[in-house]
A and B are shown apart, each in its own frame.
Chain A
Amino acid sequence: MIDVQSIRDAARDLLAKGEVRAVIGYRRGSRGMLAEPVTITDPEQADELVWDATCFHNLALYLVEDRKALAHAQRTPNLPIAIVAKGCDARAIVVLMQEHYFKREDVYIIGVSCEGGGVLVEYKLARLLNGAQALSAVIDGAELVVTTLAGEVRLPASEVMADRCLECREPFPKEHNVVFGEDQTSRQLVAPFTALARFEALSEADRWAYWCRQFERCIRCFACRSVCPMCYCDECVVDSITFPVAPETTAEEKANRIRWIERSAVRSENITYHMTRAMHLAGRCIDCGECERVCPVNIPLRLLNNKMEREAREHFGYEPGASIGGPSLVASFRDDDPGQFIR
């Protein structure tokens, strides 16, 4: 079990010694037990930091936001920024560095191992608590310790954890400057890609019917894109309102810009949007599952990304987020890549 105090001490030290300009971490949110992301710049704020099973967010997103803010302000800081990173967050940071979004020395990674646990899912917890309100939730070994108004409840962690955490292959942040917790990379709670394998056993017609049902719901709020640390493009190819418009842009230029798909939330456009996103994330998605978590209409987006991840792994021997220096999935090839489908 990880002692929150050690994370706080590390953050306080870094800020007090002036080694970093800020620390991105989690603090207790305003909504009950849930944690929320926070950026602290004052050593005294370090005591606000928390670490528990509600630290859902992939904080790598805030590194991207920080980078964008710096670029906008045309500022080049001389100090790195520190970040509290779970296994998946650390992999996301590696992918960003692989893509030269920032350099290794720009980031100080405070790694925190999820050990045998992960993050919980609110609805799974609510179901087990029978309506009791949880005040805090911490993973202790294979159990989740929940404090409610009625007292402490211990639940098997595997019953409340997020699917992505159950299927996680690498709960330990390999890339780090300092790390807390044990490396339990070999833990196997559920075999990876279990949900995907179950889905793929369906027939083609059933698969299509399934996705129709899912994508008819999509309201194109772009929450999946906003929350994804890999979706950092300023101009999104499938979203015409992100195309830059300057005062000198003529109406004709605006009208003639290629719109691959429309923004209207109809099934055909939604499917094309999500497939495009899955392709853009192929070899980059590190399965933090944030897109699925934030989806207001509960579309199982992880299935699409998992599919790309598994194909990359099985057929191209590619593991996203494994190395900073390696080539990216679609910018490299091997002589024995599968090509039997080509006539």
Chain B
Amino acid sequence: MSEEEQAYEPKIVAFLCKWCSSAGSDLAGVSRIQYPANATPITVPCSGSISPLYILSAFNKGADGVLLSGCHIGDCHYIEGNYLARRKIYLIKELLEMVGVEPDRFRMSWVSAAEGAKYAQVVKDFVADLKPLGPQNKLKADRT
């Protein structure tokens, strides 16, 4: 591995549901769990509030990976938000793959407020999977 590759740190945009994953990431922090600092968290009201455009836009603005995390099925604060998210996100995931974006660049997870360790593991795995892919230039805006 060249020096340049070793220095590469993927940028991750993490959309976290405020009722669960956001608190989960908080728990990972207060529990002093060590995990990579690559993910920039953006708290959203619900995983179901995510428009596919947020994900495309994150890639467009230069994210190397996008993580979306919400409450486990059945635990949604708004009863059915995560069910709706599951459907929508499945479609955008398929579309990204069809266009030829590496499937590992987008990830979705269910992390509850009590699962700080799981959140840390999700980010750790994601970073490990993103590193070999290198910077994301496919959807990144070309404003030259």
Contacts and interface: CB of A to CB of B under 8 A. Distances in A.
Interface of A: 200, 204-211, 237-238, 260-262, 264, 266-269, 271-272, 275-276, 278-279, 282, 303-304, 307-308, 311-312, 315-316, 329-333, 337-339, 341-343
A276 B142 contact: no
B29 interface: no
Contacts of B138: 208, 268, 271
B128 interface: no
A187 B100 CA distance: 34
Contact of B92 (A207, A266, A279): A279
Interface stretch (B12-20, B30-38, B102-110): B102-110
Given A266-B142, A272-B57, A278 B86 contact: no
Contacts of A341: 90, 93, 108
Residue among B52, B98, B122, B139 with the highest chain A CB neighbour number at 10 A: B98
Interface of B: 52-53, 56-57, 59-60, 73, 80, 83-84, 86-88, 90-102, 107-110, 122, 125, 138-143
A200 B142 CA distance: 27
9 cross-chain pairs, A with B, having the tightest CB-CB distances, nearest first: A208-B100, A333-B83, A207-B100, A343-B109, A279-B52, A342-B108, A260-B57, A268-B141, A268-B142
Given A267-B142, A268-B138, A308-B91, 14 more contacts: A209-B100, A262-B143, A266-B141, A268-B139, A268-B141, A271-B138, A272-B57, A272-B139, A275-B56, A275-B96, A308-B95, A311-B91, A329-B87, A342-B108
A275 to B, nearest CB: 6
Given A267-B142, A269-B141, A333 B87 contact: yes
Given A311-B90, A339-B73, A211 B56 contact: no
Contact of B84 (A206, A311, A331): A331
B99 A338 contact: no
18 contacts: A200-B98, A204-B100, A208-B101, A237-B53, A260-B53, A267-B142, A275-B99, A279-B53, A303-B98, A311-B94, A312-B91, A330-B84, A330-B88, A331-B84, A332-B87, A333-B80, A333-B87, A339-B90
A8 to B, nearest CB: 43
Nearest to A329: B87
B98 A315 contact: no
Contacts of B96: 275
B86 A204 contact: no
B136 to A, nearest CB: 11
Nearest to B110: A342
A71 B138 CA distance: 42
Contacts of A205: 100
Given A330-B84, A343-B107, A271 B92 contact: no
Main SS at interface, chain A: helix
Nearest to A210: B100
Contacts of B109: 342-343
B108 A278 contact: no
A268 B83 CA distance: 30
A279 B91 contact: yes
A330 to B, nearest CB: 5
A171 B83 CA distance: 34
A341 B100 CA distance: 17
A211 B84 contact: no
B95 to A, nearest CB: 6
Contacts of A272: 56-57, 59-60, 139
B108 A343 contact: yes
Residue among A267, A269, A275, A331 with the highest chain B CB neighbour number at 10 A: A275
Contacts of A303: 98
B91 A339 contact: no
A316 B109 CA distance: 20
A237 B84 CA distance: 21
Nearest to A206: B100
Given A268-B141, A308-B95, A339 B56 contact: no
A304 B98 contact: yes
Contacts of A278: 95
A132 to B, nearest CB: 40
Contacts of A307: 94-95, 98
